[in-house]
Structure 1
Amino acid sequence: MSQSRLASCVPLPLENKVLVEVIEKAKDWALMHGVGMRDKKHFNKDVIQIAPFVLLPSPFPRTEFNKAIELQPVLNELMHKVAHDERFLEQTLQNALQVDEFTSNLYDIWVKVRNEGITQSLSLGLFRSDYLMQRDGNKIKQVEFNTIASSFGAITSNLPSMFRYILRSLGMVDKIKHMPENRALSGLCAGIIEAYDLFGVPGSVVLFVVEEVSYNICDQRFHEFQISETRPDIQVIRKTLNEIYEETELNDKKQLILEGKAVAVVYYRSGYEPAQYPSSREWDARLRVERSSAIKCPSIHYQLAGTKKVQQALALPGALEKFIGAGASSGRVRDIFTGLYSLDFDEAGERALEMAIADAERFVLKPQREGGGNNLYGDDVRDALLRLRHSRERAAYILMERILPPLVSGYVVRPGAPVPPPLTDLVSELGIFGVIIGTKDKIYCNRQVGHMLRTKLADANEGGVAAGLGALDSPYLLDM
């Protein structure tokens, strides 16, 4: 399966002396502007190191970039409507719920709060739709839609400035005009502030739900700093799920009370994978938050709408039209889908299973998980399907046709790695951020707010930066 190639924005390779010098400048710029993370191997709260980044911005077709931006409000509304369709979610997830304990626990919380009567009908979505270009024509195809802890909006807002500095350092000032601005941080934080104002309780607080140990601290803290700068009256408090269990309570108005104050907005930067719920305390905390009057980002039904089974079900004939009508919007959304297949125990699931076993290189096997590092590729797909062929567990996965993006040559700068790095083949994944706030019957805001680009080695299957697999990047727009 040969892949097409895009030319780098700068002629490569760079002369060795120039390369070493510009990397040193770029590293210092990154450290001094918060393009950083904590070291997972040698964790120290007092130490920030550079986040992995690509030295030069990666080429991306302007028409496809604009298409992704224009589609984001359509996708926001689609997922909002999916999240509020109880029957669709129940039918779509029913087989996965029998074998996937994590998704089942989330679903049980949703059922409980529905049966009790939902206290807060408003939901806040800070979403991100991710795309790879497909080799035939370099058209974007959706990889996944993230409804919880959609990260790197903050750090990547700084990257256009870093790349402009690098291009100036290389004497390539004429290239700067191809770098799009990125206001993801201010846009995402504006969504949190708008939800806070809709909550309407003076002196209430915003709660960030965080991991026990936060490696991606810069990206998280920049949201907090931006909110504080924009609205000094809003206090942001960071707590783990375990701390929420120990330190919060519901009052007679169903307000979530923390440190004597009502919580207006709960923004999850944790809570998207099983390891973040090591005991019943974390699940109890999640249920307490969901029962409360706080506006959740995401609400439990938004998180369920972001599962891979829902992504696969929306690709079925008629599914999109059910939610967004049969007009141009559904056609534009369907155009970004690649092949998506269920592995349920029915005729379609058996066909998909045999198809993937026969030609495993064509497919990716995806569980209902977020956070990177969970998918299976190539021979691992075949091995897993042979193992799962007669197991109910296979219903917890979906099968997706593999997207083969164009290659571009470049340098990846990593903390502690030898300098200069080798010139390698890279591929890039574009993420578009969206904000939506609404109830089942009314949408108060719906907009696209920015973008991110993650780039990885062409022979690496996964690309999550926080998972240590990818590098931060920014698009260099091409008129193709």
Structure 2
Amino acid sequence: MYPVYPPRLTEEQEEYLLTNLKDWSIAHGLAVRPAPSYVPTETDPSAALATTAPVTLFPSLFPGVCFEQARNVAEAYNELYAAIASDETWLKGIVEELVEIDDFMANLWKVHLKVKEEGYAHAFTLGLFRSDYMVHVDPSEPQPCVRQVEFNTIASSFGGLSSKVSGLHKHLLSIGAYPESLNSILTDSSLPPSTSIPGLARGMAKAHEAYLECAPTLPTCVIFLVQDLERNVFDQRHLEYAVNEHGIRVFRLPFSRVLKDTHVDANRKLIYTPPQSPGQRFEVSLVYLRAGYSPTEYDNEAAWDARLQLERSAAIKCPSVLLQLAGTKKVQQVLATPHSPHLKRFLPDEKQAAAVLKTFAPIYPLDKSEAGMEARKLATNPDSAVRYVAKPQREGGGNNIYRKAIPDFLHSLPESHWPAHILMEMIEPPEQNNVIFRNGETQQGGVICELGVYGACLWKQGDADGKPHITSNFEAGYLLRTKGDASEEGGVAAGFGAVDSVALVDV
């Protein structure tokens, strides 16, 4: 579907391109902390070093019609998940199918129930979403389209680096680092910038403004809740600095220090005391979670106490527990199972619903429903399993089971645990090539690209019918992640992919 791309570089061309790529990336913060496998801990005991983030040398080709399709449904997806997270009755029916077989989901639901009993202290919720897609070619259709891989409602990462990598590729084009043979493909207009840094920061600023309507009595701040050892720190820092440009104080709070550095006062306001300034106190307007999405982070009861403390406070959450649960694969499956009646419940506008529906890949339950029993036959038959991926209710990359591995994996579990997974038809993207720069080395070959479109949505819980009152809703930039076509997984932080940008082409 694509032209031959990218071209082979001469030794001199590659040296010029790589020299500029490495220098520009470090100068502009397109960076990560190095993995111990690349820079041993004893070499960098204080974690002072940084290295270029895994990145592609060339922007990857991407059909313009697919790029616009994905961007055009961003606001509809924002509205969809705001509505799902606001409909506790519907979500309860989904979650209750999982609580007996998934302790993580069960404990998240317990947090919600405890806060519900006490009463939620703030009506607003912020969603900073990323909807991930791949290009899908259907021989019966005149044009390719995008199909959704997953929808992320918590810790939607790489918004900071995605803006930087699109800037990198534009810079390399501007200095003649790409061969002249690409002049008809790579132009300033074919390389759209990603606005994810200002877009996501704007979403957080909108939430902060909404909190200020409550007339806080202390200086206010936004908390970035982070993991203790975070290699992807610069991605987060770019967003932090952009929020700070709105005149908002930002602090990074490791998940392990929530109970030490915060408390909830008599009015249920979340009060933060910086350990470096114990005489100061701040009222937290927004907690932006870049941690708390993995079961491994809740390794003791104190971690669950910390999550409960945040949830019961008056600070706006991004996301709330209900919004985190709305992002589970089970919800995606319920919406996308062929002939599902659920989509129109949340998107009554037929035009919006039809546009979202076009992005769904067929997804099936692995329960004992009629659709689930059919899916079990497909998943346990080695001949048919090669067309599918099994996904658990997890975020962060590295969790999925692909193709031939599915039958043996399922047979290793009690059948009662099968419904904790969904079965999704594999998306088969068109073949293309690129060069990935990772840990000082280049790898050239076939690649698979995954487009993530960010969205920001702020809403206030509605009346008894559960419908949200949306006050802000906008698309907030894009991310392209690219991996070698021999890798099934695509997470950059998990060690599988590279950050990339799009070169729009007509197909």
Q: What secondary structure sits across from 2:73 in the alignment?
A: helix
> Is the contact between residue 16 and residue 177 of structure 2 (CA under 8 Å) also seen in structure 1?
no
Distance 1:188 1:422 in 2: 32
Shift of 1:410: 1.3
- How far 1:386 sits from its partner (Å)? 2.5
Partner residue of 1:25? 20
Amino acid at match of 1:346: S
For normalisation by structure 2, the TM-score amounts to 0.90
| Residue of structure 2 in register with 1:225 after alignment | 241
Give the Å deviation of 1:229: 2.5
Query: Which residue does 2:472 correspond to in 1?
Result: 445
CA contact (8 A) 2:5 2:434 kept: no
- Asked if structure 2 preserves the Cα contact closer than 8 Å seen for 1:204 and 1:261, the reply is yes
Paired position in structure 1 for 2:397: 372
The corresponding residue for 1:162 is: 168
| In the alignment, structure 1 residue 352 sits paired with structure 2 residue 375 | yes
Equivalent-residue separation in structure 2 for 1:6 and 1:369 (angstroms): 34
Confirm or deny that 1:193 pairs with 2:195: no
- SS of residue paired to 2:250: strand
What's 1:398 paired with?
422
Q: Does 1:463 align with 2:490?
A: yes
Quick check: 2:203–2:457 contact (8 Å CA) kept in 1?
A: yes
Looking at structure 2, the residues matched to 25 and 241 of structure 1 have their Cα atoms a distance apart, in angstroms, of: 37
Correspondence for 2:110: 108
Matched residue, 1:252: 266
Q: How does 1:83-122 map to 2 (within 5 A)?
A: 83-122=85-124
* Root mean square deviation of aligned Cα: 1.5
Q: Could you say if the C-alpha distance between residues 326 and 385 of structure 1 is closer, same or farther in structure 2, counting changes exceeding 3 Å? A: farther
Q: State how many pairs are aligned.
A: 469
AA aligned to 2:163 is: S
Q: Residues 371 and 105 (structure 1 numbering): CA distance in 2 closer, same or farther, change over 3 Å?
A: same
In the alignment, structure 1 residue 314 sits paired with structure 2 residue 335: yes
Residue type of the alignment partner of 2:433 = S
How far 1:82 sits from its partner (Å)? 0.5
- What secondary structure does 1:425 align onto? strand
Separation in structure 2 between the aligned mates of residue 177 and residue 337 of structure 1, nearest angstrom: 29
Structure-to-structure mapping, 1:269-280, within 5 angstroms? 269-280=290-301
User: Contact 2:5–2:433 (CA<8 Å) still a contact in 1?
Assistant: no
Q: Does 1:386 align with 2:402?
A: no
Unmatched 5+ stretches in structure 2: 274-280, 463-468
Structure 2 distance, partners of 1:422, 1:209, is 34
Select the residue among 222, 230, 233 that pairs with 1:206: 222
TM-score where L is the length of structure 1: 0.95
Contact 1:205 1:236 in 2 (8 A): yes
The amino acid across from 1:195 in the alignment is: A
CA contact (8 A) 2:481 2:490 kept: yes
Aligned to 2:258, the other structure's residue is in SS state: helix
Q: Give the secondary-structure state (helix, strand or coil) at the position aligned to 1:120.
A: coil
Q: CA deviation at 1:178?
A: 0.4
Q: Which residue of 2 aligns with 1:337?
A: 360
Q: Stretches of 4+ moved more than 6 A in 1?
A: none
Aligned partner of 1:125 among 118, 124, 127: 127
Matches of 2:208 and 2:349, distance apart in 1:
35
Q: Which runs of 5+ in 1 are unaligned?
A: none
Letter in 2 for 1:150: S
Query: Matched residues in 2 for 1:204 and 1:196: separation?
Result: 9
Q: Which whole-Å CA distance do the structure 1 matches of 2:123 and 2:480 have between them?
A: 33
Native 8 Å contact 1:9 1:57 kept in 2: no
Maintained 8 Å contact 2:55/2:165: no
Cα-to-partner distance string for 1:84-110 (whole Å, 9 max, x where unaligned): 111211111222111111111111111
> Share of identical aligned residues, percent?
36
Residues 145-183 of structure 1: per-residue CA shift (max 9 Å, x gap): 000000111111122221122223225566222000211
In 2, the alpha carbon distance for the partners of 1:158 and 1:311 equals 30
CA shift for structure 1 position 348: 2.4
